[in-house]
Amino acid sequence: MARLIRRQMGILLRVITLEAGGAAIQPLWFGLGARPARPAPANLRAKFLREFQHMGSYQYLEPRLLMIGRLLECLRRMGVFLSAQGPVTVDGFRLKNLSYWARYHCETVMGSLGCLSGYCNARCEFCFRYGSMFQRFPHRILCRSEARTRLKYYDPEAKKGLPYPVDDTGEIFLNRALLEILRAVRARAPEALIDDLTTHGNFLDAETVRRLAELKPVFVVISLNSADPALRARLMRGGRDEVGIRAFSLLREHGIPYIGSIVPWPTIPLEDVENSIRFLDAAEAYLIRICLPSFTRHSHPTAPFKGWEHWEKLGAMIERIRPELSTPLLIQPSWYLRREIRAHVDGVIRNSPAFHAGLRFGDVILSVQGKAVLTRQDAAGELVRRRRQGRGARLMILREGKRRRVDLAEDLRAADDCYPYKPAGYQPDPRMLFGIHFIDPFPLDSVVAMARIIREHPEARRIAVMTTVLGEGLFRKALGLLMQSPGFNLPLRKIRVTVAPHRHLGGNIVVGDLHVASDYIEHLEELRRLGYRPDLVLIPSSFTMGEWGLDALGRSYLDIEREIGCRVELVPTRPVKM
């Protein structure tokens, strides 16, 4: 046994360096059953346990790290390592050859850092962090040295970096090294947008905003929730609400664009929600994000409100005031209010080419440069093409039943100063083409991929396709549209479109990306009891993370196949803007 372990360790030590108390060690020998001469101090044992548990948060991106961590944990229980200095308690490891491990897709330099802070000092009534909704690992705060290593190995061209842990995002300004880390980001990527800065805003005083502005281009997502300090304090329980509310005007003064976020929790009166939206509109937010209140059975064991009633009231208020606003509203989940696949304009960013051309909320784009567009995806594709060519675009739109022509000027240049769309020194946001805000397009390419998978399984007689409450209608429209295209044929009679309830999360969750494998297993078992046994199940891939197809509980989608006993295929689907 001891020889086997030593041989395995020999292989492992080609990949990792062992650590004791934060220092690298070179073990000479492993003694099975032996005990360290001096037991490790309690704080080190606690540290190992904490760090080891933390390894679990890497499993989505790189389960091999978890495997190594588990192996070391087993060895720690079975015996002792000896180094030249005597017995040592191994309490961590470092990966060798980091350039090999820098192979994980990170869209932005900020994304390569992972979570900046897993802690939050507020206690919002609606926070999902209460209750063990998914697997929970000890929170952590990104330190300077790890940030420096991550930045060193990030390749902005290939958009690849080191594996990062998946953690709940907390309050970033609780990280005392935050501004120093951001300065290191700026040095590594002099022109990159520093985004992914999501904050409750209560630390954004005048001095902090001034220092943030020195790092421009910077983009912030900041929670307002209520522009009334007393109501905000009652809802968020974080303190310093006057600072948080004042932060919006400070960001404007310093030319930092931001998304202002509101969760219209039912304890906040509807009139206050409307006032808060108007507050953000007057403060020239880039977008106003409204997260329709959601809860899970873990965060709120007793439902704080019923069914869709509250969402319906909010929806009616939003639709009433929307035409009066100059700021687009980003409603999440976006398909609740708008379930259509046409190129419906959901708003235009203030001071953008679309804004100056007079495009407005509710317009439907029919053609771009004379080319008909049927869906948002089509319209976005044509607009991307025009923008890449450095040209404007001629649109034909439908407004109040009449066709009109709208001419978009070419998109802005880096030197142009048009807050909030594009302050000086910023590049136009590639997702907001000419400043047009579309909600998530229904992914027609996913339906095309689904058709391909079905063709690869001619033997399948009964095919179950999983969708969501909000996606079901859109899916059927998309299918109807594609069935009209020549060459696209699908054996519709074999297909059953079905919605798996969110049993694990419960509450009023409707977004498919928040499913877990057990939701699908239980739903398929239920269908079986009702006499339906599919031999091929197609599931949107967006409920899994990383390349290993693991759900938020760390369970593989292949477990569905194993438990149900029929073939399961993932249909490539992008996560929705939650």
Answer yes or no: are the C-beta atoms of 525 and 560 closer than 8 Å: no
Quick one: 262 or 495, whose CB is closer to ligand SF4? 262
Return the beta strands (E) in 249-401 as ranges. 258-262, 287-291, 329-332, 364-368, 371-372, 393-399
| CB-based contacts of 49, cutoff 8 Å, min separation 6 | none
Size of the site for ligand SF4 (CB under 6 A): 11
| CB-based contacts of 236, cutoff 8 Å, min separation 6 | 122, 123, 124, 125, 200, 223, 225, 244
Quick one: 124 or 408, whose CB is closer to ligand SF4? 124
Among 63, 87, 114, 170, binds ligand SF4 (CB under 6 A): 170
Minimum separation from the CB atom of position 205 to ligand SF4 (A): 17
Here the tokens at position 156 are 């902005």
**Distance (Å, rounded) from C-alpha 83 to C-alpha 26?**
6
Minimum separation from the CB atom of position 236 to ligand SF4 (A): 6
Quick one: 122 or 510, whose CB is closer to ligand SF4? 122
Quick one: 176 or 461, whose CB is closer to ligand SF4? 176
CA terminus-to-terminus distance, the chain: 50
Helix (H) or strand (E) holding 218: strand 218-223
Quick one: 113 or 359, whose CB is closer to ligand SF4? 113
Quick one: 258 or 438, whose CB is closer to ligand SF4? 258
Quick one: 294 or 375, whose CB is closer to ligand SF4? 294
| 346-375: contacts with ligand SF4 (CB under 6 A) | none
State the virtual CA torsion across 557, 561, 564, 570 in degrees, nearest 10: 60
Quick one: 38 or 123, whose CB is closer to ligand SF4? 123
Quick one: 124 or 397, whose CB is closer to ligand SF4? 124
Quick one: 199 or 327, whose CB is closer to ligand SF4? 199
Quick one: 27 or 244, whose CB is closer to ligand SF4? 244
Here the tokens at position 107 are 């869209």
Minimum separation from the CB atom of position 514 to ligand SF4 (A): 16
Minimum separation from the CB atom of position 506 to ligand SF4 (A): 19
Minimum separation from the CB atom of position 120 to ligand SF4 (A): 3
Pick from 522, 560, 555: nearest CA to 135: 555
Minimum separation from the CB atom of position 536 to ligand SF4 (A): 40
Minimum separation from the CB atom of position 198 to ligand SF4 (A): 8
Minimum separation from the CB atom of position 241 to ligand SF4 (A): 12
Minimum separation from the CB atom of position 235 to ligand SF4 (A): 9
Looking at 440-557, list the stretches that DSSP marks H as alpha helix, in order from N- to C-terminal side.
Answer: 444-455, 471-483, 517-529
| 95-134: contacts with ligand SF4 (CB under 6 A) | 120, 122-124, 127, 129
| 41-60: contacts with ligand SF4 (CB under 6 A) | none
| 377-396: contacts with ligand SF4 (CB under 6 A) | none
Does residue 217 have a cis bond before it (omega within 30 degrees)? yes
| CB-based contacts of 10, cutoff 8 Å, min separation 6 | none
Minimum separation from the CB atom of position 200 to ligand SF4 (A): 4
Quick one: 200 or 310, whose CB is closer to ligand SF4? 200
Minimum separation from the CB atom of position 202 to ligand SF4 (A): 9
Q: Taking CB under 6 A as the rule, which mask of x and - marks residues 211-240 in contact with ligand SF4?
A: ------------x------------x----
Helix (H) or strand (E) holding 567: strand 567-571
Give me the count of residues in the chain.
578
Quick one: 82 or 262, whose CB is closer to ligand SF4? 262
Answer yes or no: are the C-beta atoms of 328 and 349 closer than 8 Å: yes
Answer yes or no: are the C-beta atoms of 142 and 115 closer than 8 Å: yes
| 129-158: contacts with ligand SF4 (CB under 6 A) | 129
DSSP conformation class of 572: P
| 244-283: contacts with ligand SF4 (CB under 6 A) | none
**Distance (Å, rounded) from C-alpha 481 to C-alpha 183?**
49
Minimum separation from the CB atom of position 57 to ligand SF4 (A): 17
Does residue 266 have a cis bond before it (omega within 30 degrees)? no
- Helix 178-188 to helix 206-213 angle, to the nearest 10 degrees? 10
Residue 401 burial (10 A CB sphere; 0-12, 13-18, 19+): exposed
Minimum separation from the CB atom of position 132 to ligand SF4 (A): 15
| 197-216: contacts with ligand SF4 (CB under 6 A) | 200
Cα-flanking dihedrals φ and ψ of residue 206, to 5°?
A: -60, -40
Q: Going edge to edge, which strands form the sheet with 258-262?
A: 194-199, 218-223, 258-262, 287-291, 329-332
Partners of 330 in the beta sheet? Answer: 289
Summarize as ranges the residues that interact with ligand SF4 (CB under 6 A): 120, 122-124, 127, 129, 170-171, 200, 223, 236
